[in-house]
Amino acid sequence: MSMRHVRMGAAALIVSLAATTAAVAQPMMERPAGFSTDRNVVPVANKKMPDRKYARTRVRLVTDEPVGTIIVDTNNKFLYLVDGENRATRYGIGVGREGFGWSGVVKVGRKAEWPGWTPPPEMRAREARKGHILPAYQPGGEDNPLGARALYLHNKGGHDTAFRIHGTNQPWSIGQNMSSGCIRMMNKDVTDLYDRVPVGSKVIVVGPGNRQGKVSFDDRGVDFFRQLFGG
């Protein structure tokens, strides 16, 4: 082998080693929270989680409402599912912003997993005036505003009220007044509620207007025994 060929081989080796070193030196790109390899799913920004007081908790709730009743306290941003005598599961919620709060007694008319979203015409018109164009329909998925589950609330006549208890891809909004009247929950919490609540369940929404009438419920804090041992 000639000296010329030796020099060329050495040069090629140096170039190869330099390229390898540069590749190793490149920092690994971390996937953002909410990243999905599914190109049809839009990554969701990772924002701060809600205050710890909104975590799902077994509490001592004094009420005369029967087991299985849902009580929504929009003032304090809690939803209660009555589990038994003086017992309930408390969930943190997000509720309607100023001018969109409501109250009343309704029922769960139907349920859906990973529901699609059809924004009401008035919402589309309102958001369009702000420069936000909403779709006429958005299929269910990780980027859907209704989250993982939805409970559709119907009035006594069986008509859809257009209000829902649903999940959210914005968990940081729990504890806030942000929605257009729907009750939003963290996806893990609405999934838990969905599995425990049948269609036809009574829902009491305590809020502006006092249309829910007289309802008695007194949250006396954490049920430590149940919180530790379940049941």
Catalytically active residues are 166, 182
Q: Are 69 and 200 in contact (CB under 8 A)?
A: no
H/E segment holding residue 121: helix 121-129
What is the number of other CB atoms lying within 10 angstroms of the CB of residue 139? Answer: 12
Measure the CA–CA gap between 33 and 142, rounded to whole angstroms. 12
Q: Which of 88, 34, 35 is nearest to 59 (CA)?
A: 88
Could you tell me the sign of the dihedral formed by the alpha carbons of 104, 109, 111, 112, in that order?
Answer: negative
